[in-house]
Amino acid sequence: MKIPEFSVNRKVTTAMMAMILVVLGFISYTRLGLDFFPELEFPTVSVVTTYSGASPEDIENTITRPLEQVINTVGNVKKVNSITSEGVSVIMVEFEWGTNLDFATQDIREQLSQFRSFLPEEASDPLVVKFNISQFPIIFYGITGNLPTLELKDLIEDEVARRLERIEGVASAQVFSMDEREILVELDPAALEAYKLSVDQIIASLSLENLNLPGGRVVERQTEFLVRTLGEFQSVEDIQEVIVGVTSMGTPIYLRDVGEVRDTLKDFRYRARIQGQKGVFLFVSKRSGANTVLTTNAIKKELAKIRESLPPDIEFYVAMDQADMIQKVINRTANNALVGGILAMIFILVFLRNWRPTVTIFLAIPLSIITTFIAFYLAGYTINLMTLGGLALGIGMLVDNAVVVIENIFRHLEEGADREKAAKKGASEVGMAITASTLTTIAVFFPMVFARGITGQLTRGLALAIAFSLVSSLFVALTVVPMVASLIFKANRNNQINGSPEKKKSKRVHRMREIYRGILLRSLRRRRWVLAGVFGLFVISLLIIPFMGTEFMPPMDRSMLILSVKLPVGSTIEETDRVLHMVEDILAQEPDVQIVTAQAGSQAEDNPTEAAGELNPTGPHEGIIWAGLVDKKNRQLSDLELNEKIRAKLPSLEGVKFEVVDIGQMFMGGARNPVEIKIFGQEIPLLKEIAETIVSRIKDVEGLRDLKHSLSEAKPEYHLRINRDEASRLGIKVSQVAQTIQTAALGRVATRYRSGNEEYDIRVRFKEEFRDNLEDILRIPILTPTGQIIPVGQIARLEPGEGPIKITRENQAREVTVTANIAGRDLGSVIQDIKAQLKDLETQLPRGYFIEYGGQYEEMQDAFIIMAGAFLLAILLVYMIMASQFESFLHPFVIMFTVPLSLIGVIIALLIAGKPVSLPVLIGFVMLAGIAVNNGIVMVDYINQLKRRGVEPAEAILQGCTVRLRPVLITALTTILGMLPMALTTSEGASFRAPMAITVMGGLAATTLLTLFVIPAIYSLVTRVKFR
């Protein structure tokens, strides 16, 4: 290889090339974004439609089912799920991975716009929401003050949100409040009856009287004027003076004659608090690609200026700060990488007992990392948990190429060569070998780069980070290392040992090589027994795997606790709020809890985007509490331990259910529940019976928490049964009755009132005293086509009944879902126990009813299948590269025996650490497919070089293995030491990195021994070399 020779001969050129890379790398680093995760874009779109006051069954029939049929005509749709609850339909459309989501979203919008006329007139237009994890707020404030909530909201919107949105990198600053202004027109049904007016006439009059319309252009004296008709309401008093009809005598009937107009607040079934006080919430989101940390810092800096002009009693509480979390994880990961690098340097110094090669390797690490930042910038990647984790994992591997080159240069110096000759020859001899070993390591990451689904999105950054850094390290090892070696390395020709010019400092190395040669020779004479023993260990390892347990992703400490609270269906918002107060008091007593925010009820009917959020309450009987925790290093308990402690202290209230939500798992995998059993069928009563049977059977499975099913309760309802014959005789349509009752009880928005830059609903409904009991419903007046006023009770009757609180569907079939969280056990073991309990039940289900397992378990299965495919493809690529390197179809098989046998070390390491098999473990094992063969490549390549020089095959094997003993040990141990801090750390983000590091360390320790003894044994067998 000529590259090392060029680098040694052109030292200044090589140095300048290195400096160029440093400068470009530094510039690239300053321009890289900083995020917690890569920009994950799930191929999922939500379609939200609201229909105020409608029951779940009515919405399912009139909105959900028709929309599902339309959506299924769009291309690349993989799955359609829907949740229909009171007043809201939410349809989740999952596309095939790789689908252009922008085009798919546009297709859905076009299809829905054509279908809009078939939906109920009172229903909202379907809102299509595309979810991207980057849209999640980067910082979330709870704001309190002495002002009324509505005034506080207006102040924060005008003085804070608008200014924050001008900051570079900020996409939006949204203010949410439990109060919203509304103009309420409350009608007196007796007055309507007296004047023979209907509710529809009132609504029509308001709508027609509140208009500003252009009147065209008029030209007078060569000047053109615009003519406009100004009819919009200028004040609330204007609304009262609207003429809604005339009497038989021609006297105008004003709105104030039949009702009262009030400037008030919307009747929300919603409550919100921050630290026990009423307030508003401020959510700030960043633009896609913006640096989260820099943007958040700019937000805080601008907010500090804004607060100087705000009333002093206004307090800002940081409920969630992604930048703080990111900074902690990035710092911890960088520290792990730094400590790992230092440990590797110390080991090399101790092993080589020479500061010069240690300094050379010390220069190689930062140069390789800085060069990697150039690739990050060009590829459009950010610094995040995955990319930085890849760099940290690669710290030990970054020195491998440099170590092999330096060790070979060192050996030539010890044998008497001068510096320049030793640098050229030492680097050139191993150049092809380290190139091949680097390519094999990179090759295992290509399947991860092309993997589909969430697994591919998570591993792509990790894989490319390691690949980029290894390419950089190869370049440094072949250029900078021999150049520096030719300048500072020093030969020492003192002392002859066994006829070779060994240095005094090398006596230990020489002794170690002799001991190894003796053990190797004995093992080669008994190679069949050695291989049989290793194969036996491999079989035992395979038998242990089923007992290790499996999980999708390790639990991640997010410094946040989220608690969902559900009361019996039908509970009022006041009762839900009272229970939330009790939970808030419990959390306030915990020293590890820093801030508590609570939300009771839902704004979904007025804010459709809220309905698309899986965490948000769906009705007045539900609530959610967010508890921000203190820094992990200052905390007495982990978030999981705190979860269990809080769970034990929660009050035992009849019908009240508490659930701890793992938001970290949702972000990583997209599924909320680890355990999810889906029962499919058509009849809701039968689905509920099956779900209750499943709950009763599995309730004693160890590790289950928060077990429930989605049809836990039915909501009490009253059904209005219309006498169609009588209604038809009077000329009244069923739709007219339904709309009149809806308007009278719930109200209908007639038009909008403009005040300044804001618009507010003008809602028409009956006064409270005429709609607060069932008898009032039957007394609601309806106008017949002949002008007669009759009460609803004349043509209808009320019957008590029940309706489902929520109807879920998947691929146009109804389903009921049994869900649970887990604690203290791995997901795979829990599912195995559940399947054992339900084995006979699945065969006894009625025709058309069946069970599927979803949630995080389904995603775990998909991820494991993807990683298995990635592993097989990685093995194939590694074989191809090695076959090209050795120009042999046989020699690569010799080296690749170490890959499956590395499982022995992986199993032992995971058992010692107490880790189950998870996605990070599988990623680590795929990495081993490339790392495990590296030392074998260098060893077999040198054996082949010796054979080509005429050395006897048996001696070539012994000499090749003995000479390569030192680089094999150094590269393996530096990689292990480089990953050691990552394996041992318990800081933020450690839950994902530690299993990977433990897997690679355990596998590499095993493959190092296999390389030293098993590869020579297999090589001698396939080449038919005998030892005596």
pLDDT digits (tens, 9 = 90+) for 348-376: 777 767 778 778 877 878 888 888 899 88
pLDDT of 53-99, one tens digit each?
A: 687 888 999 999 999 999 998 888 988 989 888 788 999 998 887 78
User: What is the structure's pLDDT at 498?
Assistant: 42
Cβ neighbours for 382, distance < 8 A, ≥ 6 positions apart: 32, 33, 34, 35, 38, 39, 289, 291, 376
Same fold flag, 181-265+716-804 and 564-661: no
pLDDT value of position 212? 74
Alpha carbon 1000 to chain centroid, angstroms: 25
Domain boundaries along the sequence of the chain = 1-31+354-493, 43-130, 181-265+716-804, 507-547+888-1028, 564-661
- What's residue 671's pLDDT? 64
Q: Which two tokens stand for residue 115?
A: 């279908």
Q: What is the pLDDT of residues 305-343, one digit of tens each?
A: 999 889 988 999 888 888 887 777 777 777 777 787 787
Contact 463, 972 (CB under 8 A): no
- Assess contact for 624 and 564: CB atoms under 8 A: yes
* Backbone torsions φ then ψ of 148, nearest 5 degrees: -55, 150
| Percent of the chain at pLDDT exceeding 70 | 92
Query: Is residue 409 predicted with pLDDT exceeding 90?
Result: no
**pLDDT at site 670:** 55
pLDDT at 273: 84
Structure tokens at 462: 């990790």
Q: Supply the mean pLDDT for the chain.
A: 83
CB-based contacts of 772, cutoff 8 Å, min separation 6:
none
Q: Which of 34-48, 105-119, 238-252, 967-981 has the lowest mean pLDDT?
A: 34-48
State residue 680's pLDDT score.
Answer: 92
867: left (phi over 0), alpha (psi -120 to 50) or beta: alpha
The CATH class for the domain spanning 564-661 reads: alpha beta
Ramachandran quadrant class, 654 (left: phi over 0; alpha: psi -120 to 50; beta: rest): beta
E strand spans, 420-485: none
Alpha-carbon gap, residue 240 to 263, rounded angstroms: 11
Residue that wins the pLDDT comparison between 634 and 492: 634
**Quick one: average pLDDT of 896-924?**
88
Angle between helices 990-1009 and 322-352 in degrees, nearest 10: 20
User: Given this model, what pLDDT does residue 20 score?
Assistant: 93
How far is it, in rounded angstroms, from Cα 167 to Cα 296?
A: 10
Tokens coding 603: 């704004």
Superfamily of domain 1-31+354-493 in CATH is Multidrug efflux transporter AcrB transmembrane domain (1.20.1640.10)
Residue position matching structure tokens 């292990």: 976
- The architecture that CATH gives domain 181-265+716-804 is 2-Layer Sandwich (3.30)
Dig out the tokens for 240 from the structure: 């009262």
d(CA 1007, CA 1028): 26
pLDDT at 644: 80
Alpha helices per DSSP H over 549-621:
573-588, 608-611
User: In this structure, how many other beta carbons lie within 10 angstroms of the beta carbon of residue 27?
Assistant: 12
The rounded distance, in Å, linking the Cα atoms of 117 and 329 is 51
User: Tens digits of per-residue pLDDT, 687-742?
Assistant: 889 999 999 999 889 988 888 887 766 667 788 888 888 888 888 888 788 888 88
Please give the CATH number for the structural domain made up of 507-547+888-1028.
Answer: 1.20.1640.10
Tell me the β-bridge partners of 217: 226
> Distance between CA atoms of 703 and 723, rounded to whole angstroms?
54
Residue 987's pLDDT is: 67
493 pLDDT more than 80: no
Q: What is the structure's pLDDT at 546?
A: 85
Counting residues of the chain whose pLDDT is more than 90, the rounded percentage is: 11
H runs (alpha helix) in 353-418: 355-379, 385-414
pLDDT at position 605, please?
A: 54
* pTM of the full structure: 0.71
Q: What is the mean pLDDT of residues 656-677?
A: 70
At 707 the pLDDT is 87
The mean per-residue pLDDT over the stretch 824-853 comes to 89
The pLDDT value given to residue 305: 92
**Per-residue H/E/C for 774-828:** HHHHHCCEEECCCCCEEEHHHCEEEEEEEEECEEEEECCEEEEEEEEEECCCCHH
Query: Among residues 1013, 907, 869, which one has the least CA distance to residue 453?
Result: 869
Between CA 928 and CA 933 the distance in angstroms is 8
Is residue 888's pLDDT more than 50? Answer: yes
Supply the pLDDT for residue 63: 93
Q: Give the model confidence (pLDDT) of 777-794 as tens digits.
A: 888 888 888 878 888 888
The CATH homologous superfamily to which domain 43-130 belongs is: Multidrug efflux transporter AcrB pore domain (3.30.70.1430)
Q: What is the pLDDT of residues 584-629, one digit of tens each?
A: 888 888 888 888 888 888 765 555 555 445 556 767 888 888 888 8
| Distance from C-alpha of 199 to C-alpha of 770, rounded to nearest angstrom | 14
Which burial class, exposed, middle or buried, applies to 335 when counting CB atoms under 10 A from its CB (0-12, 13-18, 19+)? middle
Which phi and psi (to 5°) does residue 510 adopt? -65, -45
